[in-house]
Amino acid sequence: MQKNFRELLGIPIREKLSKGLIGKVCDFVVNPANGEVLAFFTRKDKKLLLPTVDIAQVSADTVWVEDPEALATPDEIVRIAEIIKLNVPIFTNKVFTVSRNYLGEVIDFRLEMNGWILTKIEVAKKILGIPTQVKLINASQIVRIKSNEITVRDAVIRVASKKIQETKEIAPNLTPAALKVDE
């Protein structure tokens, strides 16, 4: 099952047994090397996180954990602390192709809930803060993720360019002299 970042953002994290609220999903820690989601931040100040290995279940509106003791500070889990220090965001990061064509910024991304892997990013250019021309890019097209940009293969835009080219090839053949007009 896949979910978008925006679907998970803000939903409560509850203990399965008592159903008690232990936090809300505020952000994610994503390993830029392989797209694996390692943890959820449970507070906006990013001082508490929930490793995804400790998540029992995700329903439509709640993240369930077996043990509330699974919450930790970022320094308590060395592997996650190292990724956090890299400071590599996915959401709002700028996206370029290998040949340096600017595609826009990440406005959302999809996660595979079984395995907690980044599967797709939604990219759009913004005009006056409003996203336009949304592109859905498969994670397999991502070449690298850095703190200030995500680089994707050029093939991502070739398909769109080819379709536009085919349309342009048809249009020049329709000259006014070739059109019949009823008189």
pLDDT reported for residue 126: 85
CA distance linking residue 109 with residue 22, whole number of Å: 25
- Domain 94-162 sits in CATH 3.40.50.1220: no
Task: Give the predicted TM-score (pTM) of the model.
Answer: 0.74
152 with 98: CB under 8 angstroms?
yes
Question: What gap in Å lies between CA 108 and CA 88, rounded to an integer?
Answer: 15
Range 2-86: architecture per CATH: Roll (2.30)
E strand residue ranges, 62-165: 63-65, 94-97, 102-112, 117-127, 130-138, 142-145, 150-152
- Nearest-angstrom CA–CA distance, 178 and 183: 15
- Domains of the chain: which residue ranges? 2-86, 94-162
- Taking only the tens place, the pLDDT of each residue in 85-96 is 988 888 889 999
Q: What are 98-150's pLDDT values in tens digits?
A: 999 999 999 999 999 888 999 999 999 988 878 888 899 999 999 999 989 99
pLDDT tens digits for range 14-40: 999 899 999 999 999 999 988 899 999
Cα 141–Cα 164–Cα 106 angle in degrees, nearest 5: 35
Taking alpha carbons only, the member of 72, 70, 65, 16 closest to residue 47 is 72
